[in-house]
Structure 1
Amino acid sequence: MPVVDIPGSKSITARALFLAAAADGVTTLRRPLRSDDTEGFAEGLTRLGYRVGRSPDAWQIDGRPEGPAVAEADVYCRDGATTARFLPTLAAAGHGSFRFDASPQMRRRPLLPLTQALRDLGVDLRHEEAEGHHPLRIEASGVEGGEVVLDAGQSSQYLTALLLLGPLTRKGLRIRVTDLVSAPYVEITIAMMREFGVEVLREGDGRVYVVPPGGYRATTYGIEPDASTASYFFAAAAVTGGEVTVPGLGTGALQGDLGFVDVLRRMGAEVETDAHGTRVRGTGELRGLTVNMRDISDTMPTLAAIAPFASGPVRIEDVGNTRVKECDRLEACAEGLRRLGVEVATGDDWIEIRPSDVPGATPVTGTEIKSYGDHRIVMSFAVTGLRVPGISFDDPGCVRKTFPGFHEAFAALRAQLPE
C-alpha cells in the first residue's frame, strides 16, 4: 500500500510566516513547505528586515510587532499570490516607504478589493501602473483600525490579509464581508491566529469579523501536509483502482481541500480518515456527478482531469473564481481536455466533461498540454496520464511553485499503482 509523504501546506506556511513575523518573540515553524512561493515569501520578509533562519526541517523567524526593520524596501513577490497580498498588508502596519512588484503572471491577478479596503483604513497606497494590480507603493505610518467593508468574492486571501492585520492595528478591526469564496481558507486563518494568541469573533449572520488589537505571541508551529497537493495522489488511486495513504492529513486537518476525498467517495472510491491520515482506494468505478466546488476550487482541475474516466458526465459548478488564479483555470482545463479529444462544455462559472470510456465517445489520445505556467494544470493532467499514454507538458517545471519534487514523487507512486 503506497504511503505518500506530501510536503507542507503552502497556504499554512504563508500564514505562519506572516504570523511569525508579526509576533512578539522567536517563532519556530516545523516542516514548512520549501517551494518557489514560500521561499519568495521568506525572501520578502528578509527584504523588509525580518530575520529568517532556515534549517532542513524548520524555519525560525524573529518577530517584530512594530513592523519592518527597514525604513525603505523594494520587494519582488515572484508568482506568489499570498506573498503579493499578505506582505503589503504586513508592511502597512509598520513605518516606512515600501514598494512591491511581482511576475507578469501575478501582475495580471486582481488586488483591488484588498487595496481599496486598506485605503479605506487610511493606508497611503498607490498602484504605480494598472489600478488594482502590482506594482504598488505604500507609505506606511501604522494602521488605526476601525470598520471596513470587503468583497472577497474573487479571493478569500483578501479577507485573510485583513484578519491577519487586525491585531497589529491600534483599535482592532471590524470587517463586514459582502461576498466570500473558498470560506474554508478563512477558517484556517482563524484557527492559526488562535494558536498565536488571537481570538477572532463573528457577529450577526457570520459575515462580520471582529479582530481585537494587542498583537500576537510567538510559538512553535507545525505545518501539516498540503491537502491541495494530496488531491493528485488521492485521484491517482481512484482512477487506477489502486490505494494511497497520506499521513498527517486526518480528522484534525485544518484544510478544507481535504474535502476533495468526499467527492471521490461520491464517485465510488473508498475513503477512510482517522486521526493519523487519510486513505483512498479505487474500486474500479468512477460515477459521474454534479458538484459545487466553490469552497474547494483549487481541486477543480484535479476532478476535471479524471472526469473523462467517469461512467457519466461530471459537472463542476460555482468555480468562477478559478478564472483569476495563476491562469484562467477553467478554460485551461477545458482546452487541455479538448486537446485529448474529450467533449467539454463551459460557462461563466461551470465546466461539464463528458465520459470517454463509453460507446461512441471520441478516443482519448495523448498530446502536449499547455500549462500556462500553472502548477495545478500540470499536476492535474499528470493524473490523466496514468490512463492516457503520451501526455506531455510545455512547462513541466512550473510545479516548483508548490512542489519542486512532484514529478519524481508521482513517478515513484505510479510504479506502485495497478497498470
Structure 2
Amino acid sequence: MTTTLIDPWPAPRVEAPVDAVVSLPGSKSLTNRALVLAALADGPSVVRRALRSRDTLLMATALTTLGATVDTSGDDWSVTPGQLTGGGSVDCGLAGTVMRFVPPVAALASGDVLFDGDPHMHNRPIGEVLTALRGLGVEISDDDRGALPFAVHGAGAVRGGTVVIDASASSQFVSALLLAGARYEQGVDVRHDGKQVPSLPHVEMTIAMLRQRGVVVDDFDANRWLVAPGPISAVNCEIEPDLSNAAPFLALAAVTGGTVTIRDWPLQTTQPGDELREILARMGCRVELVDAGLRVTGPDALQGIDIDLRDVGELTPAIAALCALAETPSHLRGIAHIRGHETDRLAALATELSNLGADVDELPDGLAIRPAPLRGGVFRTYADHRMAHAAVIIGAAVDGVLVENVGTTAKTFPGFAEFWSGLL
C-alpha cells in the first residue's frame, strides 16, 4: 500500500537518544555503473541486490531502449546485452548518471537517440561529455547549448582515441567516457585540463569495476586515464549498501547522543560515503566497526568541523545540518562543484538553514556555519534528495520543521519518509 504524504511533511522530532539498527538499500553509484557495464559486456550477467529507485530504474529503461534486456522484476537484476540500436528516447529524470553515462553508450548504437529529463536537469552540466564525444568522432545535436535536451546520432561504432576535457565540474565526465571506452575502436585516452577533479573516489570506483571485468585501465599519470580497447567480461556482482544514504541515519546518533548501527558496512570499499567514519569521529562521535556493521554513538555535545569535502561533496547537506546543530563553528571547503548538482546546493543550504535561524555564510567554495539557536519552519528541498536529508536531520533536533517534497528522496531511497518515521 502506498502512503500519501502531507506536503510539507512534518519531520519527526526525537526526544530521547535513539538506539537503532538500519539495513540500507544498495548503492546507486555501484548499481548504475554495474548496469552500464553489464549492457556492454560479452554475455549475460546478474546485478545482485540492485538498488530499486527512480535513478536506477531510469538507467535500466535507458539501456533497454538501446537494445539490452534488463529484468528488474526481482531483487537481483539480470542483464542480457543486445545489438545496440537507436530510434528511441532516454528519460534522464533527475539522474546525472543517466544523463552522463548513457550518451557514450548511445554513440555505439545504430541510429539517433534523444535525451531529455526533468526541468531541473536542464541546468546540470553535460557539455564537456558532448564535446568529448564529438572529439571521438560522434555526431551530437544540442544547438550548442551543452545541456538537455540533445540527440546522439549513433553510427554503430566509435573511433575513440585521445580527448582533453575539463572535469572540474564533475568526476562523472571522466567516468562516462571510461565506462564505454573499451568498446571504442581505439579505446579512450581521457586527459583532464582544469582545476582539481572533485569526487575522485567515484573515478576510482569506475576503474575498479572496469578491472573486475578484465578491462585494461592505465591511471598511472595524474589527470590521465587510458582504457584499452577490448571486450568487457560479463561478471555477476553484488551491490554494497549505499554508504552516502547512511548519512542521515548516522546523524541521528550524532544529534541525539544515541547509537545507530548500519548493517553490512563493507570492510573495504570504493564508496566515498565511507568517509563518514572519519568525519563523525572528528565531530565527537564514537565510531566502531563491529560484527553487525558500523556502529556510531553520539557525543554529549556535537563539535563543529573544518574540512575539505571535495572528494565527498554529496555528503555536504547532511554534514552542514550537523554543523548547524554543533556547539562550535564549522568551515566546509572545496565544494564549489556542488553548485552544479541537483540544485545549487551551497546556495540552497545557506538559504534554508538561515531560514531556520542558523548563522551561515555562503562562500565561493563552501559554507561557514556558527552556533545559533534554531527554530521550526518550512525547509525547501529544490527536488534534491540530499536537501531532504539535511531537513530531517534538523527536524530530529528542532521542533516544527516541515520538509517540502520529502518524496524527492525516492531518487535513491524509495519509501524514505515512511522508513524514517517508523525508525523513530
105, 110, 119: which one aligns with 1:95: 110
| Distance across 1 between alignment mates of 2:86 and 2:274 | 41
Question: What letter matches 1:113 in structure 2?
Answer: E
| Distance across 2 between alignment mates of 1:54 and 1:152 | 32
Query: For 2:296, what is the secondary structure of its paired residue?
Result: strand
| Distance across 2 between alignment mates of 1:209 and 1:291 | 28
| Distance across 1 between alignment mates of 2:176 and 2:76 | 24
277, 283, 286: which one aligns with 1:270: 286
Q: Does structure 1 conserve the Cα–Cα contact (< 8 Å) formed by 2:330 and 2:368?
A: yes
| Distance across 2 between alignment mates of 1:378 and 1:198 | 38
1:360: which partner in 2? none
Residues 229-308 of structure 1 aligned to structure 2 (within 5 Å): 229-273=245-289, 277-308=293-324
Distance 1:303 1:56, change over 3 A: same
2:142: which partner in 1? 127
Cα RMSD, aligned residues only? 1.4
Residues 5-24 of structure 1 aligned to structure 2 (within 5 Å): 5-24=23-42
2:43: which partner in 1? 25
1:104: which partner in 2? 119
1:56: which partner in 2? 74
Q: Say if 2:368 is the partner of 1:347.
A: no
1:359: which partner in 2? none
Query: For 1:278, what is the secondary structure of its paired residue?
Result: strand
1:370: which partner in 2? 380
373, 388, 397: which one aligns with 1:387: 397
Query: For 1:386, what is the secondary structure of its paired residue?
Result: helix
210, 219, 233: which one aligns with 1:202: 219
153, 158, 164: which one aligns with 1:149: 164
Q: 1:308 Cα shift?
A: 2.1
Question: What letter matches 2:150 in structure 1?
Answer: L
Question: What letter matches 1:378 in structure 2?
Answer: A
| Distance across 2 between alignment mates of 1:274 and 1:12 | 24
Q: Does structure 1 conserve the Cα–Cα contact (< 8 Å) formed by 2:86 and 2:154?
A: no
Q: 1:276 Cα shift?
A: 6.0
| Distance across 2 between alignment mates of 1:250 and 1:46 | 31
Question: What letter matches 2:281 in structure 1?
Answer: R
Q: Which runs of 4+ in 1 moved over 3 A?
A: none
| Distance across 2 between alignment mates of 1:203 and 1:264 | 32
1:3: which partner in 2? 21
Q: Say if 2:152 is the partner of 1:138.
A: yes
| Distance across 2 between alignment mates of 1:380 and 1:258 | 18
Residues 228-248 of structure 1 show CA distances to partners (whole Å, capped at 9, x for unaligned) of 111111111111111111122
Q: Say if 2:203 is the partner of 1:193.
A: no
| Distance across 1 between alignment mates of 2:86 and 2:355 | 51
2:53: which partner in 1? 35
TM-score norm. by structure 2 comes to 0.92
1:183: which partner in 2? 200
Q: Say if 2:420 is the partner of 1:410.
A: yes
TM-score norm. by structure 1 comes to 0.93
Q: Does structure 2 conserve the Cα–Cα contact (< 8 Å) formed by 1:203 and 1:210?
A: no
Query: For 1:216, what is the secondary structure of its paired residue?
Result: coil
Question: What letter matches 1:112 in structure 2?
Answer: G
Residues 32-78 of structure 1 show CA distances to partners (whole Å, capped at 9, x for unaligned) of 111111111111112222111123311111024xx52x341122211
Q: Say if 2:117 is the partner of 1:117.
A: no
Structure 2: any 5+ residue segments left out of the alignment? Answer: 1-18
Between the two structures, name the one with larger relative contact order (CA 8 Å, sep ≥ 6): 2
Q: 1:274 Cα shift?
A: 5.7
Query: For 2:94, what is the secondary structure of its paired residue?
Result: coil
Query: For 2:397, what is the secondary structure of its paired residue?
Result: coil
Q: 1:198 Cα shift?
A: 1.2
Q: 1:249 Cα shift?
A: 2.1
Q: Say if 2:212 is the partner of 1:212.
A: no
Q: 1:275 Cα shift?
A: 7.7
| Distance across 1 between alignment mates of 2:377 and 2:233 | 52
Structure 1: any 5+ residue segments left out of the alignment? Answer: 357-362, 415-419
Q: 1:401 Cα shift?
A: 1.0
Query: For 1:148, what is the secondary structure of its paired residue?
Result: strand
Query: For 2:182, what is the secondary structure of its paired residue?
Result: helix
Question: What letter matches 2:419 in structure 1?
Answer: A
Query: For 2:101, what is the secondary structure of its paired residue?
Result: helix
Q: How many residues align?
A: 403
| Distance across 2 between alignment mates of 1:116 and 1:267 | 42
Question: What letter matches 1:392 in structure 2?
Answer: L
Q: Does structure 2 conserve the Cα–Cα contact (< 8 Å) formed by 1:231 and 1:258?
A: no
